[in-house]
């Protein structure tokens, strides 16, 4: 089978990009040909993937994506693909991987009525309508019950085309038998005292991930506790704005930016709490990775995978509407709570209770069925 996969950008450290790569690799392992059409690509190109760089440019993002769509649709007509899989919303897809939240719901939440008339917002609404609207036949792979609720509310009738994927955690994210030795090794490497409280936040796109909220919560800790706490930030993004915020709040010496890394599980072992106060996130894989590594989690209920924190009994979830004072209080409470041992134990046991690895296999079955125009498995 010949598969075209469309993704705007590929870089090794994004959640959407890792999911794309797992699914593409699973399709290759099943004997299928995978052609990828992208605007940019960072990192190695695995064997079995044929990469096509789309030669378009524009100043504004929505114009760039429009030109990308026009170019790829013309290119696809010259080929003979069995199925077209898109990792962003756009017209002409057989299968869509819904890495992004519902744009119409975001507009509703943010009360941006006048924005609907701006070209940028009209573009994203139109592209979402092309995938989820009543005229679409695109099969959609979703990641969380929240997505299912939001898309169904804004696009009645799409429910039969929504297919829930289990998480796709890589098995190399599982903790080894040497958690304590890894913890000590990382702390020694970064010259951190055994009693220093390390708070971890992972993810590219600092604005969406709520890094400003994390820095404010750190700054709000009581002085004695704050002097023992340190926020470690792993991911790619524009850090200057957040460094200035930390400096203004007097915690610039307590916030450390480590960039994108391949050794994130080592930091799950070394840290004391995982903080993910995202504004809105379809899934949030690092939440599950933290849970199964025994790292207590503090997140917001606007993260798709926040329900796993409650289900596992592995931390706390801030309810909507978000209040900074609530996050501040919960961070303080969790850092001093005697429940940290229970949260850790519950998290380590969670991997034996739910499927956190099956995304790629389920996605392959949906893609193959869509290519054969069969009833897609529920």
**Half-sphere exposure of residue 351, counting CA atoms within 13 Å on the CB side?**
19
Q: Is residue 260 within 8 Å of residue 234, measured between CB atoms?
A: yes
pLDDT tens for the chain, 378 residues: list them: 999 999 999 998 778 899 999 999 999 999 999 999 999 999 999 999 999 999 999 999 999 999 999 999 999 999 999 999 999 999 999 999 999 999 999 888 877 666 777 889 999 999 999 999 999 999 999 999 999 999 999 999 999 999 999 999 988 888 888 888 999 999 999 889 889 999 999 998 899 999 999 999 999 999 999 999 999 999 988 999 999 999 999 999 999 999 989 899 999 999 999 999 999 888 999 999 999 999 999 999 999 999 999 999 999 999 999 999 999 999 999 999 999 999 999 999 999 999 999 999 999 999 999 998 755 555
pTM: predicted TM-score of the whole model, two decimal places: 0.86
- Can you tell me the distance from the alpha carbon of 363 to that of 369, in angstroms, rounded to the nearest whole number? 10
**Both structure tokens of 230:** 């340190």
- pLDDT at residue number 204: 85
- Can you tell me the distance from the alpha carbon of 120 to that of 129, in angstroms, rounded to the nearest whole number? 14
- pLDDT at residue number 374: 59
Main-chain phi, psi angles of 300, to 5 degrees: -110, 155
Q: What domains does the chain contain, in order, with CATH numbers?
A: 2-166+358-371 (3.40.50.2000), 171-350 (3.40.50.2000)
Q: Comparing C-alpha atoms, which of 97, 117, 98, 99 is closest to residue 107? A: 117
Handedness of CA 55, 58, 62, 63 (dihedral sign): negative
Please classify residue 365 by burial: count the beta carbons closer than 10 Å to its beta carbon, then call 0-12 exposed, 13-18 middle and 19+ buried.
middle
Q: Is residue 166 within 8 Å of residue 357, measured between CB atoms?
A: yes
Cβ-proximal residues to 6 (8 Å cutoff; 6+ apart), any chain: 36, 37, 38, 72, 84, 85, 86, 87, 88, 90, 93
Residue 289, SS3 per DSSP: helix
- Can you tell me the distance from the alpha carbon of 151 to that of 145, in angstroms, rounded to the nearest whole number? 10
Q: Is residue 37 within 8 Å of residue 86, measured between CB atoms?
A: no
Residue 280, SS3 per DSSP: coil
- Can you tell me the distance from the alpha carbon of 232 to that of 192, in angstroms, rounded to the nearest whole number? 12
Angle at CA 302, nearest 5°, toward 297 and 304? 75
């Amino acid at each position: 089978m010949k598969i075209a996969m469309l993704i705007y950008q590929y870089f090794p450290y994004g959640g959407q990009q890792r999911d794309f790569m797992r699914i593409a690799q699973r399709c290759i392992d099943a004997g299928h040909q995978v052609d990828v059409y992208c605007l940019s690509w960072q990192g190695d190109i695995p064997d079995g993937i044929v990469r096509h760089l789309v030669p378009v440019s524009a100043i504004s993002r929505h114009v760039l994506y429009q030109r990308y769509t026009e170019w790829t649709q013309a290119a696809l007509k010259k080929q003979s693909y069995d199925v077209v899989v898109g990792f962003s919303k756009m017209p002409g897809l057989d299968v869509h991987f819904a890495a992004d939240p519902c744009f119409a719901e975001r507009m509703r939440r943010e009360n941006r009525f006048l924005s609907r008339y701006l070209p940028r917002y009209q573009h994203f609404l139109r592209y979402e309508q092309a995938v989820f609207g009543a005229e679409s036949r695109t099969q959609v792979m979703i990641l969380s019950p929240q997505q299912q609720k939001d898309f169904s509310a804004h696009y009645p009738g799409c429910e039969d085309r929504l297919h829930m994927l289990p998480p796709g955690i890589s098995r190399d994210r599982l903790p080894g038998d040497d958690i304590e030795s890894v913890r000590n090794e990382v702390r020694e490497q970064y010259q951190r005292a055994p009693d220093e409280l390390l708070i971890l936040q992972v993810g590219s796109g600092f604005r969406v991930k709520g890094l400003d909220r994390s820095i404010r919560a750190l700054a709000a800790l009581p002085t004695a506790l704050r002097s023992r706490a340190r926020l470690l930030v792993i991911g790619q993004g524009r850090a200057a704005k957040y460094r200035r915020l930390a400096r203004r709040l007097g915690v610039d010496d307590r916030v450390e930016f480590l960039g994108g890394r391949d050794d994130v599980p080592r930091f799950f072992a070394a840290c004391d709490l995982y903080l993910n106060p995202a504004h809105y996130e379809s899934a949030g894989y690092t939440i599950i990775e933290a849970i199964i590594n025994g790292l207590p989690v503090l997140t917001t209920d606007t993260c798709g995978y926040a329900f796993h924190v409650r289900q596992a009994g592995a931390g706390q979830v801030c309810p909507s509407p978000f209040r900074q004072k609530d996050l501040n209080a919960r961070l303080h409470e969790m850092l001093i709570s005697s429940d940290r041992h229970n949260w850790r134990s519950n998290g380590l046991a969670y991997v034996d209770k739910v499927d956190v690895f099956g995304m790629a296999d389920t996605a392959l079955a949906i893609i193959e069925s869509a290519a054969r125009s069969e009833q897609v498995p529920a």
